[in-house]
A and B are shown apart, each in its own frame.
Chain A
Amino acid sequence: MTGAAVKLENVSFGYDETRVLFNVEIQAGTIAAVMGPSGAGKTTLLNLIAGFERPESGSVWIGNSDVTGIGPADRPVSMVFQENNLFAHLTVEQNVGLGRSPSLRLTDADRIAIRGALARTGLEGKEARLPSELSGGERQRVALARALVRNRPVLLLDEPFASLGPALREDMLELLIDLHREQNMTVLMVTHQPDDARKIAQSMIFVEEGKVAATGNANLFFGPDAPQAFRRYIGV
């Protein structure tokens, strides 16, 4: 499987006091970090791509298809949230299994895929545990395992490791890089940590006041010629 390009064309959307207008394109198979101040619209950007929000006007493209009118479950997208990625009353295996069948009717092939994904994310032997019996890092690994069995070309991560300590976060980023190397999906990750972005991102998307204020190569963003707005934001 390979990633698919993501494109937002004049996508406008608003609720309460928030208004956004996005024009942005992410190339297939890249890892893009989404950064910007709180309330700038980073999560809204991800929600629009995932289909949790429908644009008032404009269109969302994934690969060669216009997905603007398509529901979240039918888009070629997986999303990992900061928390609440798991159903607390279901086991690890069931939580991952939901990525294969929303009715949890699993075939033998599904079970093999689930085992594989759990092994890949370092969760062997924890199939029968409940989320409450896992650490915060392990819970996010389960969410990644589910994204693996879903096998969708776009992976959205909304501050997935924000509640983890530095060492754990490091591990998770390594895992993410490995998974990306194997699957080559398109990844958009919202983060507040410049270090995280520098470590994994090939390209950067800087969001400010409901708009994509700057995009470009990650090397550029963390080099001497970084865009003004971004420099102001990270304070260099």
Chain B
Amino acid sequence: MAVRDGPIAITFSTLKAITPGLAALGGIALLIGGAFAGLIAEGFGNLPAAIGAFDSWLFRIARFTLWQALLSTLLSVAPAILVARALSRHPAFAGRALILRLFALPLALPAIVAALGILALLGRAGLIAPLWGPGWPGIYGLSGILIAHVFFNLPLATRLLLEALETVPADQWRLAAQLGMNARSTFRLVEWPAMRRALPGVAGLVFMLCVTSFTIVLTLGGGPRATTLEVAIYQSLRFDFDPARAVAVTTLQIVLTALVLAVLARLGANVAGDANLAVSRRAAVSPRLSETLFNAMVLAVAVVLVLSPMAATVIYGLKADLMRLAGEPAVQSATLTSLGLATCSSILCLAMSWSLVAGRQKLAAARRKSPTSLLERMFDTGAGYVLIVPPIVIGSGWFLLLRNHIDVFSVAPIMVAAVNAVMAMPFAIRAIRPAFDAAALRHDKLSAQLGISGWNRLRLIDWPVVRRPMATALAFAMALSLGDLGVIALFGSDAVQTLPYLLLGRMGSYRTDDAAGIALLLGILCLGLMLLADRLGRTAK
């Protein structure tokens, strides 16, 4: 006679199945916990100094952080409403798919490459300077930050809003056409209600990305008047070496991001975003000529905005002495370091994501329809919470924790690989989970009956199904890790340089030709990986 465990208790077989997931959660906890330990130890080690660091300078920076994020959000999301609407009104013109592809590219482009592209275009010696005539001021400072943020977030917001518009049932469009609604009423009665539902989430996501933006502000922000908390953390550790101030700035940044995320969660925003967008067609509406012209203008401006920094990167990059750069040992070794770290990081990311996805599915299956347990929720969204603690914050905490014990620069590879792996996890989980869950639903009973388990199950049943989403996640995680200039900015040294770090160095020493060449290389690497991820993701469906 067998007795089944109660619904809450976890059976031994479930426990065995979720052990890897628990280990992954433990790893995340260690990474974040270690950072907090470093902050707390440093803060309480010198409490008066840490409290003293909360001065008017710090609050001015906090205010600027929020201000630039607010402006960036407005400038990205408001035009995105027009762009998304234009794309939705014309569901089948030549080049539409191309525009959507183009709008997916900034997501793949490392921030430092985009920053360089914008400088190449609008900097003091940029492509635009001769057209303006003498006295072109360049776009350092707030204007530069805003342009870069709009470059990244306008396409993102457009894609998300378009997705919202495409949830409107085809019958409603037909109805609107039948009732003879003009553009104005269609917007008011059909399009706006659909977009308004998505708007808080979209705006929240963009705001969050801008609050935690580091690379853009570091490279385009001009001096003390245009600095954000993230950059202040970096400066207090790498330049002023003022640990007390670093603690204060980091703490404020954590509080700020936690607040923003709490608001976001209430708005129901999806912080992890999505790399793919279905290109669906529906019954075409027939806008008037005047509206068509207006929409064409809106799209043209958006395309120029997104395309021109990338074009400038390519133009300047090709002007650089690429052959010399390719032969340079520093470039070669940075490329190898970057690729090596990205490989480690993405494999680690996949292993952890798989463990969590499999563990969550196991827990969900074991509980049937009773309410989700805390553990299952942690398996589900636990990885998402790492977004509260931006890479710089984790790096800063560990930097403070380790600096008295070991040479902090020697742990750069471990920190870079681990932090980037964890940062890519929310995206990887989103890529893997649908395929995995669907396969589990179909195969669990059959496998149990036929005695297919363990290695056989992985080899014969699960792997063939999730191979493609895994490859998508792998390419995505690699691209993210390759382009990252967060942790490496803190831990990098002459001994351990990645491509973005090398690029930052060349920019700092005004070797702009070199920088442009490296940016081109890095941009191509990341775009290539992202296109691969996108392609694998598409054919998987």
Contacts and interface: CB of A to CB of B under 8 A. Distances in A.
B368 A72 contact: no
B460 A90 contact: yes
Given A16-B370, A87-B443, A103-B460, A78 B449 contact: yes
Interface in A109-147: none
Contacts of B445: 52, 72, 79, 81, 84
Nearest to B368: A15
B3 A73 contact: no
Interface stretch (B144-152, B168-176, B272-280, B450-458): B450-458
Interface string A81-113: 100110111100000001100111000000000
A36 interface: no
Contacts of B2: 54-55, 59, 68-69
Nearest to A94: B460
A6 to B, nearest CB: 16
Contact of B369 (A16, A68, A102): A16
A227 interface: no
Given A72-B449, A79-B449, A85-B446, A54 B460 contact: no
B451 A74 contact: yes
A71 interface: yes
Contacts of A99: 450
B536 interface: no
A79 B447 CA distance: 12
B3 A56 contact: yes
Contact of B1 (A15, A50, A51, A68): A68
Contact of A98 (B3, B7, B450, B453): B450
B368 A102 contact: no
B258 interface: no
B4 interface: yes
B177 interface: no
Contacts of A73: 448-451, 453
Nearest to A67: B2
A216 interface: no
B541 interface: no
Interface residues of A, number: 33
B184 interface: no
Contacts of A16: 368-370
Most chain A CB inside 10 Å of its own CB: which residue of B1, B7, B370, B448: B1
Q: Which of B369, B448, B449, B452 neighbours the largest number of chain A CB atoms within 10 Å of its CB?
A: B449
B447 to A, nearest CB: 8
A54 B460 CA distance: 27
B315 to A, nearest CB: 46
A63 interface: no
Interface residues of B, number: 24
Interface of B is mostly: helix
Given A16-B369, A81-B445, A90-B460, A102 B450 contact: yes
B92 interface: no
A84 B444 CA distance: 10
Contact of B464 (A77, A78, A89): A89
B303 interface: no
Nearest to B447: A102
Contacts of B452: 98, 102-103
A216 B445 CA distance: 30
Interface in B432-451: 442-443, 445-446, 448-451
A57 interface: yes
Of B3, B4, B443, most A-chain CB atoms within 10 Å: B4
Query: Which among A50, A71, A98 has the highest number of chain B CB atoms within 10 Å?
Result: A98
A71 B442 contact: no
A87 B446 contact: yes
Nearest to B370: A16
Contacts of B459: 103
B465 A89 contact: yes
B464 A103 contact: no
B461 interface: yes
Contacts of B370: 16
B435 to A, nearest CB: 12
Nearest to A152: B449
Nearest to A77: B449
B444 to A, nearest CB: 9
Nearest to B449: A72
Nearest to B464: A89
Contacts of B451: 71-74, 102
Contacts of B464: 89-90
A41 B74 CA distance: 57
Nearest to B445: A52
B1 A59 contact: yes
Nearest to A16: B369
Contacts of A68: 1-2
Contacts of B456: 102-104
A108 B3 CA distance: 42
A174 to B, nearest CB: 25
A16 B451 CA distance: 27
Contacts of B453: 73, 102
Contacts of B4: 13, 54-56
Interface string B136-178: 0000000000000000000000000000000000000000000
Given A55-B4, A56-B3, A87 B448 contact: no
A84 B446 contact: yes
Contacts of A85: 446
A110 B446 CA distance: 20
Contact of A104 (B3, B442, B446, B460): B460
Nearest to A50: B449
A16 B7 CA distance: 10
Contacts of A88: 442
Given A84-B443, A90-B464, A98-B460, 11 more contacts: A15-B368, A54-B2, A74-B451, A78-B449, A81-B445, A84-B442, A84-B445, A87-B460, A89-B464, A98-B450, A98-B452
14 contacts: A15-B7, A52-B445, A71-B448, A71-B451, A72-B449, A73-B449, A74-B451, A77-B449, A79-B445, A87-B460, A88-B442, A90-B464, A102-B456, A104-B460
Interface of B: 1-4, 7, 368-370, 442-443, 445-446, 448-453, 456, 459-461, 464-465
The 6 closest A-B pairs by CB, nearest first: A73-B451, A102-B452, A89-B464, A72-B448, A103-B456, A102-B451
